[in-house]
Amino acid sequence: MSDPMFGLGEGKLELFVDKETIANGDKITGRVKLTVNSQKSAKGLKMKLIWETSEMTDKMRTHAGKREREEGMDIVTRYEKKIDLAPEGVFTGTKEYPFSFETAEIGTGPGNAILSLSAWLDVGMSLGFSQAKAIVVTG
């Protein structure tokens, strides 16, 4: 999965995961491939994992004098972890940055788990780029 960054032809970021389906407690591994066609100063290459568990809700409410059933999803737990894949500096060329997240430290919660990863080159106030990927969590 990749997106062009900055302007057309200036570079791209690709986010690869080794497994797109994991079980609770598995390690998430992969790499970010960054291609920058001309030198670009940045505050670093960053990555974030977001883990949310949710439960279906079934509520009754009164609207205009009638009782209505309302279904939805409530977030029960939310965990975020950020890592720096590369420190502040000048980026140019193509380089791969491996990553690893331990999901055992997150723990489990009730309901359905949603896991998403995102990576971005932090260029401050100017237009940067990012890449996101969802991972299916079983058991």
| CATH code of the domain in which 102 resides | 2.60.40.640
Provide the token pair at 36: 């920058």
Full residue range of the structural domain in which residue 108 is found: 2-138
Minimum mean pLDDT range among 68-72, 84-88, 109-113: 109-113
Mean pLDDT of 114-133: 75
Measure the CA–CA gap between 101 and 6, rounded to whole angstroms.
28
Listed in order, strand segments (DSSP E) in the chain are 2-4, 11-17, 21-23, 27-42, 44-63, 66-86, 89-102, 112-122, 129-138
Tens digits of residue pLDDT in 79-106: 888 889 999 999 999 999 999 988 766 6
Our count of domains for the chain comes to 1
Looking at residue 88, its pLDDT comes to: 94
